[in-house]
Amino acid sequence: MRYKKTMLLFCLFCVCAFLVYLLMQIEEAERKKRALNTPVELPYTWEGDISKAQIAEPSGITYHPKRKTLFVVDDGGFIHEIRPDGTDIQSKNLQERDLEGVTTNPATGLVYAVVEDNESILEINPETLTIDREFIINRTFEDKILLKEGGMGVEGIVFVPDSSHKEGGSFWIGNQSDSLKPDAEPSIVCEVVVPLNSSKTKVSEGNIVRYLQMDFVDISGLSYDTQSDYLMIISDTTNLLVEMKRDGNQLHHYLLPGNDQEGVTLDGLGYMYIAQESGQIIKFADKRLR
């Protein structure tokens, strides 16, 4: 009888010890999660405002690896090509469309801009700045409307190349929202596939193949870090830059200098560029850990 009591007490002790250990592990995991989600200052060296082209309200920026230049779009429908020192090369009005982001396909050199309101992607010839094709983004995914018509609209676009993909890769776009409430417009980034290679039609459709819910508001720009293979997402309201794997795992949160950040890009040479709605194009020497 005494043996059974001893064994019972021992089992209870083991269970209690295990529960304490489990609670400690959960607490440590939560601590690490909180630390990960706590923004830190972006490590950088300030290079300055390179703006020389008088771009009104820049809304997106991308680096073109073949041309070694920057493409910038603005809310008034203009696309601009500038040098990394900010001097102007060319610009053109794309039918006064509300352009909210711009990106480049490094394999083809073609430039793509995302249009708010009608949620479409324009394919642009970088030599002439003319529109070659347009891809209308289907607003729904699995019968759920993700991109609300008349809502805050898409903000930011980036192309992620994939040589094994039949279209050469896919686009990621951000949907802007000012609230995280369940009934509000979703603050999400969506992966969109368009028929870049499988169709030559002037106007065709692109489809959302998945989306990731964000825990912050006001997505205003996207970029892709080819060296580390993750997305870079900026939030205007919170002055935040988030590094995220494409499975939704958020890696780092950085506080951005300045205000009204609308676009971000890397040139692969150690520099980051931030397009601000105020008209500034800020250049940083990027000091983030690799």
pTM comes to 0.87
What letter does residue 256 receive in the DSSP assignment? Answer: P
- Which whole-number Å values give the CA distances from 249 to 61, 63, 217, 230, 231, in the listed order? 25, 25, 17, 10, 10
On whether the 45-286 domain is CATH 2.120.10.30, my answer is yes
Looking at the predicted structure, is the pLDDT value of residue 84 above 90? Answer: yes
Number of Cβ within a 10 Å radius of residue 89:
13
Between CA 235 and CA 70 the distance in angstroms is: 21
What is the average pLDDT across 59-78?
Answer: 96
Confidence of residue 191 (pLDDT cuts 50, 70, 90): very high
CA distance 246 to 193: 15
- pLDDT one-digit tens code per residue, 9-36: 666 666 666 665 655 555 544 444 544 5
Angstrom distance (rounded) from CA 106 to CA 125: 13
Separation CA 117–CA 97 (nearest Å) = 9
Name residue 172's amino acid: W
